[in-house]
Structure 1
């Protein structure tokens, strides 16, 4: 896989690039582009990578991304139904040069500044906007733009948001770096449920262990094994929701070899115990 610069096709008459993405799976590599992006997952589930964030996603996932923020969505299991997302992309000159600096757009300016880290909206907020996004998709260029500006203003008023990348993350747009990260993402996705050895991972990108650890920490602002544990905890969370298997069984299936260590990591990343997480999910969906 190769992380690459993505060119967005927009014309002077069509200030927004609005489209439905449909495929058997999300197959885009970790990539970046200078445009902002608003993505709503209509169908599909897996892991979402934004900057140095790795989180589970499913239908209703609603994310706002800033310019040049590397990202991709990857399926964690095959599905016969395929995947579908609604995507809106636009650049800084949406309404002309320096439009965002005008006082009437102050709230939108603050929103777009926050998008530099990536913003994830809760499912409760997201579901309200799917019909609105579809409506924007089918309008003529003028109506499309007006409705979109109105949408941004509304999104700027939502207080309950989750910033995705950490404060210290700075995108590294070096092509070789992105290719290496893609290779590591793929290797971890394929082997997270097994014992992962540093030398084997470093060997995937032909680096020494010491050089690889420095590279990974510098690129994602977190250690390799913090990233692996985060990935595994997200996979555990998925199975807690989708199955009735015992917590210990799920932990071992996702690559954890020590239950005390697993419980400590789950509390760290999810801020609750596995049983509380499972119970809360079923309470919220009933």
Structure 2
């Protein structure tokens, strides 16, 4: 799953880009770009990928992502045929950073911008307020949209239930320190092969390090051990398959690279807080209720 760099075209009469997407479903499109992005997803449920974070999402999903952080959402069509809506604000880094630095009233937002490098998920209450602001943007002038963007950043900053999603430094491009080129290469290799058997020795060789040094280096920069990191990717894939397919759990276990179902169940429980069977049952119950 190699991420591609998306080229964002800012309108000639604006400093940042606003867009509203209406689609029957959200296709998997693993990408990154050098802009900040605020993304509100409505009337949709599926799997959200941000850096090394992979989890299911539902309606009113509001996320703020920093520059060069790879991401995508993926969903199936709604059973009632209704459209899924995505509001997006893509803001150039230099413009927003300078705006915050140059105005004392905004400098409290610097912490929000820093945390966005790991991706930030906001509460449903915050997402409801964001929906109201995005709807206003749809009919607003350029000056009005600028004011609404500041309002949006303010309600996000004030959300006490916000939490970060990805490991630190999981980004592509010039934001990274030079040595992290090694980490990017290793992580891309893991993303392309995480359902296969992977060994620290082969990854250490790829990074031109000793195995012991590689273990320390990887944990320091991702906050996970290599095994934890790979298992989180595998469980994320399992969640996607549990949501989108009716395959038996034993088949999904094999597809995600686990050597036996018991190990799969243990790892799933440790990461998701429930068994794969219960996870699927919760989704079925949710569908029945709705």
TM-score, with structure 1 as normaliser? 0.69
- Does structure 1 residue 185 correspond to structure 2 residue 198? no
Q: Is the 8 A contact 1:172 1:219 kept in 2?
A: no
Q: Alignment partner of 1:269: what SS?
A: helix
Q: Is the 8 A contact 1:2 1:179 kept in 2?
A: no
5+ residue gaps, structure 1, are none
1:242, 1:2 → 2: CA distance? 22
- Going from structure 1 to structure 2, the CA distance change for 1:181 and 1:244 (only over 3 Å counts) comes to closer
Residue 117 (structure 1) aligns with: 118
**1:100-139 → structure 2 map (5 Å cutoff):** 100-102=103-105, 105=106, 108-122=109-123, 126=127, 129-130=130-131, 132-139=133-140
Deviates more, 1:199-208 or 1:35-44: 199-208
**1:133-282 → structure 2 map (5 Å cutoff):** 133-166=134-167, 172=176, 174=178, 176-177=181-182, 178=184, 181-188=187-194, 192=195, 195-198=196-199, 202=203, 210=211, 213-214=214-215, 216-217=218-219, 219-242=221-244, 247-282=249-284
Q: Is the 8 A contact 2:65 2:119 kept in 1?
A: yes
Q: Per-residue deviation at 1:184? A: 3.5
TM-score, with structure 2 as normaliser? 0.68
Q: Per-residue deviation at 1:163? A: 1.0
Q: Alignment partner of 2:149: what SS?
A: helix
Q: Alignment partner of 1:98: what SS?
A: helix
1:138, 1:58 → 2: CA distance? 26
2:150, 2:113 → 1: CA distance? 12
Q: Per-residue deviation at 1:141? A: 1.0
Q: Is the 8 A contact 1:64 1:120 kept in 2?
A: yes
1:9-28 Cα distance to aligned partner (Å, 9 max, x none)? 366x5232213468984545
Q: Is the 8 A contact 2:126 2:155 kept in 1?
A: no
Q: Alignment partner of 1:9: what SS?
A: coil
Q: Alignment partner of 2:197: what SS?
A: coil
- How many residue pairs get matched? 273
5+ residue gaps, structure 2, are none
Q: Is the 8 A contact 1:37 1:89 kept in 2?
A: yes
Q: Per-residue deviation at 1:206? A: 8.5
Q: Alignment partner of 1:19: what SS?
A: strand
CA-based RMSD of the aligned residues comes to 4.6
